[in-house]
Structure 1
Amino acid sequence: MYSADQIFRGLFNPSLATREFKKQINIRLPHDFGVQGSYYTGNIGDRALGELFKKQLQQEGYRTKLFGMRVRDSNAPNRVLGGGGVLHDWYSMDQLERRLGYVSGGENGYIVGVGVPGFRSPDAKKLIANTLPDLELITVRDKRSKQNIKSICDVDVTVTACPAFLYEDPSVETKEKTGINFRPWFDEGEKSEKVLKEYFEYNDLTKASKSYIENARNICQKVDDPIFIPFHYKDEEFAKKYLDIPTLDYKFSVQKTLQRVSRVNRMVTMRYHSLIFAAICNKPILALGYAPKVTELTKQMKIPVYKPHKPISIQFSQVSNLDSIRSSAQENFNRLFEMTN
């Protein structure tokens, strides 16, 4: 049933009512697997994960539906928390409660290929300790994520790799250009100073922001034929505000973005999935590790990484172990299907 508030908002915004109606239908229609993640926020990397999970499950014959991070329930006996850095309480307990409430609310619950930035509050740690032991499967995308779980509860956790590595290079015609992806820098309105210090490891926010923008401009001046490839609409806004280089229009399309990366001959990457897309397309990479998750990823790839607000050596590195990483990414689904077949 709709709440009075939902009905009121729908009367004055028909498109909102239509979206809400479709969401409620999706939740209630019979389906074998429900997969929850941040698939509708405009982030290309998260969207890539959602599309991949749906494809993999449907290929096995399962009726599958994707749900955004606000969905708390669905008519699915099998529930998956699928990919992304989703297990944390850095911004609020509400997000963590919704995610764990969803994945544990069906007959079978699976956490697959996720990142675990960590947990700050005693309530979050208690929720993790009470929920995870009852799930059928937990795979995480790096060793740091496993350590963050194991420090709280003794459950079976398998380290794999991000499922997005299973995408293929579209192999479009390459042009002599340097692809650039920077994400916007943080501001005090976006994340608290405490989170920036404890998780993102930045002490002086104003100084770090100034140094980052200077580094971004310096890189764009020194590389050959730079072209900006946005992975979020905010990336495009940042590039047009601070960088004097050609900037592609943001498109909420995984395949379009992957083609754009395939078309350049090397990549400067900052976002987590811009780094993955560059590796998939076999591009030499200059990786900027704005967060611990990116540093963990470069460890898997065995390439150098630079803090975006520290001195940067403009040298590009090739990923040599992509086949091994892709096998590890496939392990997410091998284990899932072993549990369900």
Structure 2
Amino acid sequence: MSRYVISGYYGFGNAGDEAILQAIIDSLQSHDSGADITVFSAQPSKTALEHQVRAVHRTSFAQIVAALRQADLFISGGGGLLQDATSNRSLLYYLGLLTLARGLGCKTMVYANSIGPIKRTCNKRLACYVLEKTDFITVRDQLSLNLLAELGVHKPQIQLTADPALLLPSPVVAPEERVIALAVREWPSQHDFLMEIAIAGRRLVQDGFSILLIPFHFARDLAVSQRLAQEIGAGASCLMQAQSFDDLVIGLARSEVVVAMRLHALIMGAVCNRPLIGISYDPKIEGFLQSVGQPIAGSTADLQADHLYELVLAAYNQRVEVRSNLAEQLVKLRQYADKNAIIATSLAGGERA
């Protein structure tokens, strides 16, 4: 039995991050049946109950140190943790935990991360310094692998894997005809990308499609999803109550095409084998879509309604072929995703993967 401590953006009500956590737990337990797991969470009681693991508060220094002193492996991830686009504080927090774990004699692994963007020179240097001392790094997209090389991170073993959530099961649900799932979020931009989405949405509704807005991070995405549904008008609806992750995925599975800004709406759309169209606000969106050969309509800085509309029509008209190609890609990606836990359990057991 090995002891694992996991740190990430957990306990904040983000369905995508909770999916990552569950997938990591399931994967570790599948390769180490006696895995003893502790999670750093913003809501430890909720995390412990939902995921059936130990949990301590992510800002309780005493509890963090106590957990790390007993751990065989500290896991940072998964997700897009190592970036300074949202704040300096977030990057410093996760790098600080890696440093603390190392100082307490714990092996460390960056697990299926998207790295970057890291914009500030001082942050790039700090990230390189900390990551060079990490025992193993896995990243979930090629862009992150490239950025590590640019940062000068060479000493630890580094592998390209895939997002752990790809290992989660898909609901057996048939798609409903001409339904499009749409998962958006707020993002600062001088370009009114939400209006472009609304314009494309209105044209699709005129063509006989229905649009279901799915707030993937309910607390943050509900208002913008409601607003967008109102802008599109009749033919668009929005999930108005907080849903379990399984129910969110069922919503994706009931659609014929998934259009999303939220990464894990795209990932779970892929798990459900639905054609995907991404709208990028972060390189991780492009990184994932490249890995599954699915298109990006544009970014929050340049999205155009006409292009989005045409991509949705093309995805719908070619959905049988797209689903066949996507299924082939998923087989490979799930094998890559499983490598994360194989490496982690090997490290925790005292071996090099």
> Into which bin does the TM-score normalised by the smaller protein fall?
0.7 to 0.9
Partners in 1 of 2:181 and 2:7 — Cα distance? 30
- Deviation of 1:134 (Å): 1.5
- After superposition, where does 1:264-283 map in structure 2 within 5 Å? 264-283=255-274
Query: For the Cα contact (< 8 Å) 1:267–1:278, is it kept in 2?
Result: yes
Query: For the Cα contact (< 8 Å) 2:131–2:153, is it kept in 1?
Result: no
Q: After superposition, give the CA deviation of every residue in 1:271-324 in whole Å (9 maximum; x if it has no partner).
A: 111111111111233333343221221111012221152222222143241101
Q: After superposition, give the CA deviation of every residue in 1:32-86 in whole Å (9 maximum; x if it has no partner).
A: 2111111222221111011222233344212112213753634132211111111
**Secondary structure, aligned partner of 1:94:** helix
Paired position in structure 2 for 1:23: none
Deviating more after overlay: 70-79 vs 290-299: 70-79
**Secondary structure, aligned partner of 2:238:** coil
Paired position in structure 1 for 2:215: 230
Instruction: Specify which structure has the higher proportion of strand.
Output: 2
Length-normalised TM-score, structure 2: 0.76
Paired position in structure 2 for 1:110: 109
Partners in 2 of 1:135 and 1:170 — Cα distance? 37
Q: After superposition, give the CA deviation of every residue in 1:159-191 in whole Å (9 maximum; x if it has no partner).
A: 11111101111213543352422313423xxxx
Q: Report the RMSD for the aligned CA atoms in angstroms.
A: 2.3
Paired position in structure 2 for 1:259: 250
- Deviation of 1:220 (Å): 4.8
Distance 1:91 1:270, change over 3 A: closer
Distance 1:175 1:208, change over 3 A: closer
Partners in 2 of 1:43 and 1:303 — Cα distance? 24
Paired position in structure 2 for 1:40: 11
Query: For the Cα contact (< 8 Å) 2:109–2:137, is it kept in 1?
Result: yes
Query: For the Cα contact (< 8 Å) 1:290–1:307, is it kept in 2?
Result: no
Paired position in structure 1 for 2:170: 169
Q: After superposition, give the CA deviation of every residue in 1:239-281 in whole Å (9 maximum; x if it has no partner).
A: 2222231222343522221222223343223311111111111
Query: For the Cα contact (< 8 Å) 1:267–1:283, is it kept in 2?
Result: yes
Q: Which runs of 5+ in 1 are unaligned?
A: 1-30, 188-195, 197-204
Give the percent of matched residue pairs that are identical in Structure 1 and Structure 2. 23
| Alignment coverage as a number of residue pairs | 295
Paired position in structure 2 for 1:192: none
Paired position in structure 1 for 2:75: 80
Paired position in structure 2 for 1:211: 196
Paired position in structure 1 for 2:91: 96
Q: After superposition, give the CA deviation of every residue in 1:20-42 in whole Å (9 maximum; x if it has no partner).
A: xxxxxxxxxxx921111112222
- Deviation of 1:137 (Å): 0.9
- Deviation of 1:216 (Å): 4.2
- After superposition, where does 1:46-85 map in structure 2 within 5 Å? 46-59=17-30, 60=32, 61-68=34-41, 70-71=58-59, 73-74=64-65, 75-76=67-68, 77=71, 78-85=73-80
- 2:226 corresponds to 1:240: yes
Length-normalised TM-score, structure 1: 0.79
Partners in 2 of 1:253 and 1:32 — Cα distance? 28
Distance 1:250 1:137, change over 3 A: farther
**Could you tell me which amino acid in structure 2 is paired with residue 335 of structure 1?**
I
Query: For the Cα contact (< 8 Å) 1:265–1:283, is it kept in 2?
Result: yes
Paired position in structure 1 for 2:348: 340
**Secondary structure, aligned partner of 2:296:** coil
